[in-house]
Structure 1
Amino acid sequence: MLENMIKEVAPKVIGWRRDMHRHPELSFEEYWTSDYIENALKEMDGIEIQRPTKTSVLGIIKGDKPGRKVGLRADIDALPIQENRDDLDFVSEIDGKMHACGHDSHASMLLGAAEVLSKNKDKISGEIYLIFQHAEELPPGGAIEMVETGLFDDLDVVFAQHIMTTKPIGEIHIKSGAVTANSDTFELTIQGQGGHASQPEGAIDPLVIGSRIVTQIQDIVSRMAGPLDNLVISITNFNSGTGAKNVIPHTAEISGSVRSLDADIRELAKEKIEAIAKANCEVYGAEYDYRFNYGYSAVLNDESETARVRTILDETFGQDRVIESEKMMGGEDFGAFTANLPGVYILLGTYNEEKDYVYPHHHPKFGIDEDAFIDGVRAHVNVALGLGLNN
Structure 2
Amino acid sequence: MNETIKAQLFRKLAEKQARMIEIYRYLHAHPELSFQEENTAKYIEEFYAGKDCDVRTHVGGLGIVVTIDSGKPGKTLAIRADFDALPIQEETGLPYASKTPGVMHACGHDAHTAYMLTLAECLIEMKEQLEGKVVVLHQPAEEVPPGGAIGMIKDGALDGVDNVFGIHVMSQMPFGNVYYREGNVQTGRANFRVKIQGVGGHGSSPHKANDAIVAASYFVVAVQSIVSRRMNPFDVGSITIGSFDGKGSFNVIKDSVFLEGDVRSMSEETRTLIEKEIRAKLDGIAAMFEVTYGLDYENDYPVLFNDPELTAFAADALQATEMPGVIGIERCEAQPPSEDFAYYAKERPSVFLYVGAAPEDGEAYPHHHPKFRINEGSMLVAAETMGTLVVDYLKGSSEK
Give the Cα–Cα distance (whole angstroms) in 1 for the partners of residues 363 and 328 of structure 2.
20
8 A Cα contact 2:60 2:153, kept in partner? no
Tell me what 2:275 maps to: 270
CA distance in 2, matches of 1:173, 1:265: 26
The answer to whether the 8 A contact 1:25-1:78 is kept is yes
Give 2:348's aligned residue: 341
Task: State how far apart, in whole Å, the 1-side matches of 2:360 and 2:230 are.
Answer: 42
Matched, 1:224 2:193: no
Q: Displacement of 1:159 after TM fit?
A: 0.6
Match of 1:59 in 2: 66
| Structural mapping, 1:1-391, within 5 Å | 1-44=8-51, 46-51=52-57, 52-86=59-93, 88-243=94-249, 245-317=250-322, 321-354=328-361, 356=362, 358-389=364-395
**Shift of residue 151 of structure 1?**
2.7
Deviation at 1:160, TM superposition (A): 0.7
Counterpart of 1:279, as a letter, is G
CA RMSD between the two structures: 1.8
Contact 1:241 1:248 in 2 (8 A): no
Contact 2:219 2:282 in 1 (8 A): yes
Partner Cα separation in structure 2 for residue 240 and residue 16 of structure 1? 45
Aligned partners of 1:307, 1:112: CA distance in 2, in Å? 26
After TM superposition, give the deviation of residue 201 of structure 1 in Å.
Answer: 2.8
> Shift in Å at residue 370 of structure 1?
1.3
State whether residues 67 and 390 of structure 1, in contact with CA within 8 Å, keep that contact through their aligned partners in structure 2: no
Give the structure-1-normalised TM-score: 0.94
Deviates more, 1:135-144 or 1:206-215: 206-215
State the one-letter code of the partner of 1:290: L
Q: Runs of 4 or more off by more than 6 Å in structure 1? A: none
Amino acid at match of 1:251: S
Change (3 A) 1:357 1:60: farther
Post-superposition Cα deviations, 1:242-280, rounded to whole Å, max 9, x if no partner, equal 22x222221122221000010011011111101011012
Of 316-325 and 217-226, deviating more is: 316-325
Q: CA deviation digits over 1:256-312, x for unaligned, max 9? A: 100001001101111110101101211222111112112222211111111111111
- Note if contact 1:123-1:385 (Cα within 8 Å) is conserved in structure 2: no
Give 2:3's aligned residue. none
Change (3 A) 1:141 1:33: same
2:204 maps to amino acid: S
How high is the TM-score relative to the length of structure 2?
A: 0.92
SS in 2 for 1:125: coil
Partners of 1:160 and 1:128 in 2: how far apart?
A: 13
Task: Note the residue ranges of structure 1 that are not aligned, 5 or more in a row.
Answer: none
* Unmatched runs of 5 consecutive residues or more in structure 2: 1-7
Q: Percent identity?
A: 34
CA gap 1:200/1:357 in 2 versus in 1, 3 angstroms: closer
For residues 81-122 of structure 1, what are the alpha-carbon distances to aligned partners after superposition, in whole Å with 9 as ceiling and x for unaligned? 222233x33222222222111111100111111111112123
Report the Cα distance in structure 2 between the residues aligned to 1:383 and 1:390, rounded to whole angstroms: 10
In 2, Cα distance between the equivalents of 1:372 and 1:2? Answer: 17
Separation in structure 1 between the aligned mates of residue 104 and residue 198 of structure 2, nearest angstrom: 42
- 8 Å CA contact 2:176–2:327 kept in 1: the answer is no
